[in-house]
Structure 1
Amino acid sequence: MKNLRCLIAGAGILSVCAALAQPTQVPATADPGRLRERFDAPATAPSEASLPEPNGAAQDVLPQAVRALRVTLRAIRVEGSTVYSDAQWQAYTGPYLGREISGADIFALAQALTVRYRNDGYFLSRVIVPPQSLAEGTVTLRAIEGHVARVVIEGDPRLRSRLEEIAGKIQAARPLSAQVLERYLLIANDFPGVRLRSVLSPSQTVGAADLTLIASVKDVEGFVSFDNYGTRYLGPGQATLGLTGNQLLGVNDQWRVIAAGTGNTEMAYAQISYSQVLNAEGLTLALLASQARTQPGDSLRAYDIRGYSDAASLTLSAPWLRTRNHSLLARLSYDHADIRSDILGARVSDDQIRVLRTGLTWRRLDVLEGQNSLDVDFSRGLGGTKASDLLKSRVGADGQFNKLTFDYARYQPLGARWGLSFGLAGQWTQDTPLLSSEQFALGGRRYGRAYEAAELVGDRGLALRLEPRYAVPGGGGHGLRAYHLYGFYDIGEVSRVGPPSAGTTSRQSLASAGFGTRLFLAGTASAQLEAAWPLTKPVASQPEDGRAVRLLASLLIQF
């Protein structure tokens, strides 16, 4: 009996010790609330439509008799001009007044005014010298401000009504500028799945041109990828499938489904989204819902950790500026997410995220042929999790917060084959700790490649990356179209506000470096092979060999 009591007491002590040893917080690398940022469809660069090239304007033929004409001008009038005032023309016409000039000079003046129109983007406009008498020393020039008189729409009938709206915007511009034409043709080319060709041709209307729009739609597109970019607890092997349906309802709609998983119970992610372009200005409404389920393996398997994330978002976006070389997109979105974690069947965290976000996306090709992109977002927490909630993911956190994030990238060609990619990203927030999924993360494919995704997280952060690359065209054989050789270095630091967690400091940093190759295979397939070394800290999930080289590989097939 005494031995039995001893056994029972010993078992009780062991169970208490086990309970004390179990983790009370899920590692950020296994956080279900961070899967969306890993598997969201990548933002694509704005499309580049093929813009029409107008035929050169017919040159005025200068008769020899007019060329030899001599006259002293007392006044110069420019009729038909709605873009420029008489005062603006004065800089051009003033030098011709009060002195004797030839007929050739008058035609040269008309050509100079035409050049002013063209330089300001009015590529269909010109200034002519109409027949007239110069007996009184007054010359009249006539501005023919070009426009599009008729638009012919060909191709997929589902796009007719939307392209008619685009056509109306173009026809309403009198005179038509290259900026206006470019904006609306590019917006049309941004319609879901659309490929647009445009042709300008002479019109029967004086001073006008006719425009033909030829549109086609790729109804279904998608991708499948395989890689080992996952974490030790959720992976590392993972597969992703994305499918996109375009114009399925014929209302400028797009449907997208993304699914990702590890092939076991460790991680599963699914996302469905719907977007629709609402008008000819490119105003777009997007709805998205996602669900993530995690059950970390490896050394965490014994604790039966279960993660759940259910999220939805509503976004409105519109292009404020849209050209081939320069674009600015504004957006307003609302995010709604519930993120929960259980350990051994007991709830250990429960966050409700309710956030309003507003942001800008800027793209520019500059005079150095550098490709620039910048995303800036301001987020305002509207509530959800309260400061008094006991199961929130971080001590002191509150669902009401403000934060500012930015992400800048630039690719600079350095000759025919060399180039340099540069990136800088950061986040700033006030002195209230953020909930876990709102923290700035280091590690993963962009900053800290030798580390797992969300290796380090903090309320504030800053990260930098450099990647020199060398492009080699393929010979067309062995299914290889081209390949890139590259090296990289990245570094970043995060800091936490509020009381530090047990065993951590308020500031942490990491850095990594490596090299690799990107292979552009036959068709639309591509692969990447990379070796990455942690430089400043070991990988947290691999304490036994945390500074070893990390070998990464991926295969992407688009269709």
Structure 2
Amino acid sequence: VARAVLPPQTLKDGVLTIRIIPGRYDSAHISNTSSVSTSVAQRLVSTTTPRGDVVTRKQLEREALLLGEIPGVNAQVAMKSGSQPGTTTPDITLTQGKQFGGYVGLDNQGDPTTGRSRVMLGGYANNLLGMGDQLRVDLLDAYEKSDLFNGSLDYSLLAGGGYGTRVGVNYSHLNYHYNLSGLGFNGYSDNWGLYVTQPWIRTSRARVDVRLNAGQQFLTDKYPDVFASNSSPRGRKQVNIGSAAITGSVADLPGGLTGFGLVGTTGNVGLRSEFSRDISGDANSGGQFARFNYQINHDQQVWGPFSFYAGVNGQLANNNLDASQKFLMGGPSAVRAYDIGDGSVDEGVVGTAEVRSHWSLPALAWLGNDPSLTLATFYDQGWGEQWRNNDNGRGGRLADSNNLNLAGAGLYATVADAGNYALTMTWAHRTGNADPNAVHDDNDRFWV
């Protein structure tokens, strides 16, 4: 926003002088009927578009996007004339969005030992304190066998509101039980963490976040007495962990969107029982560790309803990892032709390619207001090493087949009404090698 002014002058040699006066921000005007405190929004606006600064598109985009990310708030930003010549006032309207919400889900994506069929329930509450805060509750139960339960709580809020920084705390608890070869196994874990998320880049074409995490995991595994030797068959571990992540998305090509993520993690696995130390044994998977996770994907509109998707994600490690830090190459979110828990590796990479077609469906009462159908064919490929160092320290190997090659192809269909429901059905056929550690050796998988 700028003005062009012709100052008093005498033309000489055909030269005309034009003075460009850049527009500057005046104090913002905020109309707020939402549940977030006006002072929180005011701090964000004052920091993003400070009074007296030159008006830029970059600042205005960032302000509008950050305001729109406040949970339970709908934001609109317009510009109007300021109180002084050459100034403009950000005119901000905040209205009440969805303050409470929830979901229910069913799938067959559980571990076969604890029950494939699962039910998921969750909900959220926005702006309970008016500080841009959000409380989330998520529950999961493997109801088929009632042998697994997981519950988690997450609470976060804007740290003052000035820069869009969000701080949060989370806690989760897991109980499991399963029978294998007539023997009963059970255990539980308690995890807690703290995190800080900073919106680094916000434009109409790009979004990038930086996140820091720190937390602890307390894991207890109870094995049958037949495993007891000189100690109680109970594995106890404490994992202290910290990570730094950069994630984001960029609309780099017309009709395309690229997503990416980089996460560096370091920590320490404390083996707190003699039995845990015995299990770690030759692998030497306790103590200090570091791993690096990466992912990149691109979704590109090709023609009409057709699009192409490709993605890669993987993990690198500095040494042999505890089971809690492994990278899983099998399952419905990786190589879909393999079971949950297959392809457990220290280092690995999974690539996928999909050809998708997206179709609108009639707005029938039982389908929703804006139903759609997505049909796709895909191919997944994963490579990995079960152990970063396959030497057992005695001249032998920890795994006879340390390198894993998982691959599969298939089809899926999704019927959805955005914001209301989604139903995805997937068939995948194995084309790669079987996992030598797999409980099941099926060639076909069906996921819902």
| TM-score normalised to structure 1 length | 0.71
| The one of 469, 475, 484 aligned to 2:362 | 475
2:363 aligned with 1:363, yes or no?
no
Shift of 1:321: 1.2
Mapping for residues 409-488 of structure 1, pairs under 5 Å: 409-430=297-318, 432-477=319-364, 479-480=366-367, 481-488=371-378
What amino acid sits opposite 2:167 in the alignment?
L
Structure 2 counterpart of 1:377, which letter? V
Are the counterparts in 1 of residues 237 and 269 from structure 2 also a CA contact under 8 Å? no
**Distance of 1:173 and 1:259 partners within structure 2:** 49
Residues 148 and 290 of structure 1: CA distance in aligned 2, closer, same or farther (over 3 Å): same
User: Counterpart in 1 of 2:72?
Assistant: 193
Q: Secondary structure at the match of 2:50?
A: helix
Deviations 1:149-205 (A, max 9, x none): 242212225330111112313133621101011112211211222221122223343
User: How do 1:340-379 and structure 2 match up within 5 A?
Assistant: 340-344=220-224, 347-379=233-265
1:240 and 2:126 are equivalent in the alignment: no
Matched, 1:257 2:137: yes
Question: Hey, what's the Cα distance between the residues in 2 that align with 1:173 and 1:204?
Answer: 12
Taking a change above 3 Å as real, the CA distance of residues 173 and 383 of structure 1, as seen in their structure-2 partners, is farther
Moved more, 515-524 or 369-378: 515-524
C-alpha distance in structure 2 between counterparts of 1:402 and 1:330, whole Å: 19
Classify 1:126/1:410 alpha carbon distance in 2 versus 1 (closer, same or farther; 3 Å): same
Cα deviation for residue 147 of structure 1 reads 2.4
C-alpha displacement at 1:478, in angstroms? 5.6
Which residue number in structure 1 is paired with residue 40 of structure 2? 162
Amino acid at match of 2:302: L
Which stretch shows the higher mean deviation, 448-457 or 518-527?
A: 518-527
Q: How does 1:79-478 map to 2 (within 5 A)?
A: 124-134=1-11, 139-154=16-31, 155-156=33-34, 158-169=36-47, 170-172=49-51, 174-215=53-94, 216-263=96-143, 264-278=145-159, 279-297=161-179, 300=180, 302-344=182-224, 347-382=233-268, 384-385=270-271, 390-391=277-278, 393=280, 395-430=283-318, 432-477=319-364
How many pairs align? Answer: 424
Letter in 2 for 1:159: S
Q: 1:157 to 1:350 in 2, by over 3 A?
A: closer
SS at match of 2:288: coil
Measured after TM superposition, the shift of residue 301 of structure 1 is: 6.8
Structure having greater relative contact order (Cα 8 Å, sep ≥ 6) = 1
Give the CA RMSD over aligned residues.
2.4
**More helix per residue: 1 or 2?**
1
Q: Is the 8 A contact 1:310 1:337 kept in 2?
A: yes
Give, as a single letter, the amino acid of the residue that structure 1 aligns with 2:414: R
Say if 1:355 and 1:522 are closer, same or farther in 2 by CA, change over 3 A.
closer
| CA displacement at 1:521 relative to structure 2 | 4.0
Higher Cα radius of gyration: 1
1:434–1:201: structure 2 CA closer, same or farther, 3 Å change rule?
same
1:551 to 2:446 alignment: yes
Q: Equivalent residue for 2:381?
A: 491
1:504 CA drift (Å): 4.6
Once the two structures are TM-superposed, the CA of residue 516 in structure 1 deviates from its matched residue by 1.6
In 2, distance between residues paired with 1:241 and 1:180?
39
The one-letter code sitting in structure 1 at the alignment partner of 2:258 is N
The verdict on how the C-alpha distance between 1:485 and 1:157 changes in structure 2, with shifts beyond 3 A counting, is closer
CA contact (8 A) 1:485 1:517 kept: yes
The one-character-per-residue Cα deviations of 1:377-434 (angstroms, maximum 9, x if unpaired) are 111124534899615556311330121110111111112211111110111112x211
Q: Which amino acid aligns with 1:242?
A: G
Distance 1:173 1:459, change over 3 A: farther
| 1:518 match | 414
In 2, are the aligned partners of 1:187 and 1:280 still within 8 Å (CA)? Answer: no
Q: 1:208 offset after TM fit, Å?
A: 2.2
Give TM-score, length-normalised by structure 2. 0.88
* Contact kept? 2:237, 2:273, Cα under 8 Å: no
Unaligned runs of 5+ in 2: 226-231
Tell me the distance in 2 between the aligned counterparts of 1:173 and 1:488: 54
Q: 1:205 to 1:392 in 2, by over 3 A?
A: farther
Note the alpha carbon deviations across 1:481-514, whole angstroms, 9 max, x for none.
Answer: 1101011110101201234776652111211111
Aligned sequence identity (%): 22
- Corresponding residue of 2:440: 542
Unaligned runs of 5+ in 1: 1-123, 554-559
Report the CA distance between 1:318 and its aligned residue.
Answer: 0.6
- Please identify, of 264-273 and 142-151, the stretch whose mean Cα deviation from structure 2 is larger: 142-151
